[in-house]
Every structure is written in C-alpha cells, then in structure tokens.
Amino acid sequence: MLMLENLRKIVQDVDSAPNFTAALDTMVTSVRETMGTEVSSVYLLDDKSNRYILMATEGLNPDAIGTVSLGWNEGLVGLCGAREEPINLDNASAHPKYHYLPETGEEKYNSFLGVPIMHRRKVLGVLVVQQRDKRKFDEAEEAFLVTLSAQLSGVVAHAKAVGSFDVIRTPTPRANVTRVFNGIAGASGIALGRAIVMYPPADIDSVPDRVAEDPDNEIHSLRIALEAVREDIRELDRKMAGSLMPEERALFDAYLRMLDDNALGGEIEERIHAGNWAQGALREVIEKHMQAFAAMDDPYLRERRADVRDLGLRILAHLQKQEGDSLREFPDHSILIGEEITTAMLVETPLEKIAGIVTVEGAANSHMAIVARALGIPTVLGVSELPVTQLDDTEMIVDAYQGRVYVQPSRQLRTRYKDIIKEELQLVAGLDAYRDVPAETPDGHRLALYVNTGLMADVARAKDRGAEGVGLYRSEIPFMLRERFPGEEEQRGIYRQQLEAFAPRPVTMRTLDIGGDKDLPYFPIKEDNPALGWRGIRITLDHPEIFMVQIRAMLKAAIGLDNLQILLPMISSVFEVEEALHLIHRAMMEVQEEEGVPITMPRVGVMVEVPAAVLQIGDMVQLVDFVSVGSNDLTQYMLAVDRNNARVADIYTPYHPAVLRALQMVVDEVHRAGKPVGICGEMAGDPGTALLLMAMGFDSLSMSASNLLKIRKVICNTPYMQARGLLEQVMQVDNAAVIRSLVEFELEDLGLLDLIRPGKK
C-alpha cells in the first residue's frame, strides 16, 4: 500500500510541475527517494539524431544533462529500448553491451535497472536507476519502475508532440515550426484552414487560450459572472440553513472568500491583463490552484481541489451564458478541433464553412465520424497528443488520407497540399461521368447503390450523385438535435420529407438506435461498457411507448408513397424480432383505424451487427423481408475492438479474415432463403472492400453520398468474374494486412488506385 501511495504521489507531482523540464526533474528526484537508490535518470530518444539524450538525473554529473547521448542501439540504455523490456543487472560493466559515459561519472555504479518509456508501441526513452552495490533489483522494485514508466509515458509523449523539449532542454513550444500529429483517418480528404476550438459548456479543461481583444470588456464580463456565483453561493447557504450545522456551513463562507476580488477574481484579472480572454484566464488560474492542492501532503487539503474546480465551473457557466454560442463566428475554411466533438456539436455549426475536423478522442467509426463522412468533411480522430487549448486560430492542414495533422505548416507544405486538392477536384470532375450510369460490371453483373442519410443536407447530395434509394436512414439524428423526444407529428413531418425526396425508390428507416456512442442529451445512458450494454432494439423494446410513437409516425409518413422499409438494429435473438414485429403490426392497425385508409405493411428487415445474428441468420430471415449488415458494429464485435478506442484502432480492420468469412456466411444463408441482403456499413463506401462485397453477392451497397460516384466507377470498371477471382484468393489468406495489399494491387491493376488517394496511379 505504501508503494501504491508513493506511486500516486509521484504521478501527481509530475502532473503538477510547471513545465516539462521541471516534470523530469521531479520524476528522477522522486524515484531516487522512493526506491532508495543512488542514481535515477531519464534518457529520451531524439527523433532527429536517433540517439538517447540524458535529459534529467539525480546522482550523475548534472553538467552531462543535454550534452551526452547514446546511439539508439548503443549501451544498456539502447539495449533496453531496442528490446522494449526491462534490463536488470547486478554487474552492469560485465555486460557485453555496457558503454561507459565518462562525462556522467557512472563508472562507480554496478547495479543497473532500465525500463523503456513506451507510448502506443513506440519507445520514447528509458528510465534508469543505478546503485554501487552489486545486486539485482528485486521483483517489486522492477514492477514499481515499470508501472511508473507506463503512467508517465503520456506526459513524455505530450511534451514531445508539442515541442516542449529538445536536446538543450527548451521548456516551451518552438514558434513558427511545423508540428506534426498523427491520428486515425475518419473521413478522407484534405483541408487547409484555421483552427476553431470546440468545447462543451462548462468543460473548463477544454477552454482554449484566446487573445483578449478588449480586456476591459472581458473584465466586466468576469465581474458579472463572479457576482452571479456569489449570489448562487449565498442562496445555497440560505437554503441549507436549517439542515447543516454552522461549522458545516462555513464552507460557503470559504467559497465567498475565494471569490473575492483579492483572491481568484484578482488573479483572473491579472491573466486578462496579460492577454488572455476571461474564460482562458479562468482556466489558467483554476489549473494553477488545483495543481497546488494536488501537491500537498495532507489528504484533506488535497481533496480541496474539487472545491476549486466546482467554483471554476460555476464561473465558467455564467461567462458562457453571457457569451452565448450564437455569437460565435466561424470563418470560411474553419477546422473544428476539440477533445471530443459530438454529432450534435457538429451539425449545429454552419456546415458550409467547415473544412475539416480533428479530435483528441474518438476513432474512425464513431458516430460523428460517420456523419462527417456523409457530409464529406475531412476528419482525423484519436490525435491523443494534440494540445487543443494552444491551437485556437492556428493555421492547420488536415490530411485525412494518412491520419495526419500539420500545425503551422511551412509554405512548401501548403503548396504541396494545394496541389493535392487540385488533383482531388480533377478526380471528382472525372467521376461526374458516372452520375447517371447504372452500377453494372462490364460482364453484366448489376447491384443497387443506396445512400446513408440522417440530415436533409444528405438528400440533395445523394440525388445529385445518382443514389437509387436510401439503404439506411439514421432516425436517431433528429432525436439528437432536440432537447426532448420529438412528438409523433413532429417525427411524421421529418420522415415524410425523406420518403417524398426519394419516392418511388425505397427508403430504409432504422428504428431509434441510441446507446453505445450515441447518447441523447435528455436521455443519458451511463454504463461501464456501453458497447455491450443497453442500446438499439434493447432500449426501444424496453420502452414500447417510444417505439410505437416512432413506428406510427413512419407509417403515417408513408401513406400514399408506400416506399417505406423498416430496419431493426442490434438484433441478437429471434425473440427480439418477433416482439418488434408484434408492435409494428399493432401500430399498423392503430394507424389504419385512426386514418381511415388502408395502410400498406412496410417491408421489415433486421440488421446483422453481432455474432449471434450471424450464427442465427437462417432462423431470423424466415421472419423478415430482407437483411442488412451493419459492418461497422459487426467488425467491432467480431474482433472485440471498441471502434471508438484510439488505442486499439489499428486492430479494427474490415479486411480481417473472420469478418470476411462472416459476411460470406450471411449472404449465403439469406440467399438460400430467397431474400435480398444489403450492407450499409462503411465497408460499402470503400473502393477496396466494395470489390469484395460485390464478389460475395451482396444485392445492394449503402454508403455516404460522398462515396457514391467512386463506388459506381469501381463497379463499372471491374469485371464480376475478376472480382470473384480476387475474393477466392483472399479467402485463402489468414492475414488482414496481406489481404489489404492484394486488394490494393488489384485496384492498381484496374487503374483505380487513385480512388483511394489522389496522386496514386
């Protein structure tokens, strides 16, 4: 327990350090004291020289810091990094890889324990402890150092990403130098523009720094907010007068003293005079005080961090209320950046001005990323080291083909990416020739190309690109954009617009699919494991009042059009299908009686998204009219990979043999029953996987409007029998990376590789 307490304190102390240099010094000092060793040092790998630089030490010659180094595979430090595992020796000098650095004065130390500092499979440096005694460090000591290294790796990775260290220990970001951040490509494309930081209300950690253009006005707003919070505290004190003892109510007096102009208020005003706007100045002051409390030894005082944060959130809420989101300006070519940007936050912006999106959290198949793809907005997610609060109004390039973000790009870099954008425009212009061409292979194989929609903005783009109907209407999006559940008539109007826009072509409406990564602000679902929790059909069957209103609205909207198809999400058992069908039939009878006109029973289908549905599809298909595969979730559940978790994003791949074999199994079973099967996941809109899906025998592919012309070109230029040959080849392969390579070779042979990335031939 003592070791665990020490571990927590070291992590808190490092997090509280004012800059990265101080954080390293705190790290080595704390490690030496806690482990009782004579030497504690940190070596960091410099990307430019590919050498390990001594960046901090307690016990070795301090003059060697920043001046001595080892090659990436040189000495015991290099060996530790190369092997990516601890090196624990009782007589270091006897090891064949021992390399003595005379500048450090380490010749007198015999015991050596080094552990790699790893972040996302990449070695960032090595944490070392040394002693004169010839002894191996015991298992507990080694485990402690490994644990500490793992916890502190994020600090090192962040500092490295924002340029907070180099070989001469410069503790501040380097200005006017292009910084590169890597993430995951969410929606392909290139964007050049200026960053706009997005943050949810009262999230003080995400508030960006901005220049205070009118400091006097910022101070005026702050004082109004402070007085409003003081009144809130006084009201709380009055409210609790009969419930709390005087000594317990003393907390409210402490709050009021902290809000005094000579306390927090005065400090925030100082930061405004220094140049930051009121909200950014508030964040700076609150962070400083929270770090100070976190560093205190007394547990009671450490817990006062929560009080400081609470006051900060209260002040921020009043500042934001004054500002009002409606006053925010979005210039042309805005690039939205944030810790996390939700679907609702995205669609509430002026979409015509949004050039790109970058987030710290999230992964390629999050709901927001799917919507971004539908809107054709280049998106990079999971950029874990992005210093969001420092980047407001900074020039950026978003390369959503490679999952890369450039901050303050050089003139040469801007020129190169402008050329790529020109190539993209030429590619799009060439695709226009496929707008009205049937999706038919040169040897006569035909399949339908549908569109995924959720916003009316999708409709015009989809029709302009020749969509043959809607394969997936995400009915949850209108729910997300409201502050309450929409009523039946309100829903009917929304659904009628979609149905009329495509009539007489089919419109497949998925029933409310919330849960997982799709929360409603007025119906929050908090679960430890939402992907395996209460979501999709499970929620609506538990709440038939919500399900019935939605089905009735859909049926009424389809009167006279008869192009409605209903799709049931997250089905995992035959019982769920039977129960949903019972409610649909009941709703149909109610609407028929209410409207006094005959109601056509819509075609009903199930989504195959979980392995249980794959294995029982032969039973389920007997009850429904069609089947639609949701490849995003199916891939997630087949591979046990959370598609919103950037840490495992590289494991999530639709080219995995298990995913491909499961898809072929579904097609074969559904066709055996004489029913049609489509796929509405992101696989359908990818040129490579679309080839395989066509070869498997899918009857329809449904995708974002931005991908329709690409996929039509692929189909029109690929003989069906050639695609079948490719499928037979990849089905014999047991490696996803090899399968992807085989598919890309095929695209290159067909002259279609430029559909994956402009400029590739």
Give catalytic residue positions: 367, 680
Backbone angles phi, psi at 182, to 5 degrees: -110, 140
SS3 199: coil
Query: Please, what's the b/e burial string for 449-483 (b: 16 or more CB within 10 A of its CB; e: otherwise)?
Result: bbbbbbbeebbebbeebbbbbbbbbbbbbbbbbee
The two three-digit tokens of residue 630, written as one number: 């949701």
194: which strand partners? Answer: 334, 395
SS (H, E, C) 16-53: HCCCHHHHHHHHHHHHHHHHCCCEEEEEEEECCCCEEE
Q: How far is CA 205 from CA 222, 492, 666, 733, in A?
A: 18, 40, 46, 47
- CA–chain centroid gap for 657, Å, is 25
Per 3-state DSSP, the chain is made up of helix, strand and coil in percentages (nearest 5) of 50, 15, 35
Edge-to-edge strand list for the sheet holding 39-46 = 69-71, 51-58, 39-46, 122-131, 111-119, 87-89
- Omega within 30 of 0 (cis) for the link into 438: no
The two three-digit tokens of residue 490, written as one number: 């309100």
DSSP summary character for residue 129:
E
Closest CA to 681 of 655, 660, 704, 664: 704
Edge-to-edge strand list for the sheet holding 404-407 = 179-182, 404-407, 395-399, 190-197, 334-338, 354-359, 379-381, 184-187
Backbone angles phi, psi at 737, to 5 degrees: -65, -40
Contact 131, 109 (CB under 8 A): yes
- CA–chain centroid gap for 361, Å, is 4
Backbone angles phi, psi at 84, to 5 degrees: 55, 40
Interacting residues of 10 by C-beta distance below 8 A, sequence separation 6+: 26, 27, 30, 31, 34, 148
SS3 622: coil
Beta strands in 593-708 (DSSP E): 603-608, 626-629, 677-679, 700-703
Contact 608, 628 (CB under 8 A): yes
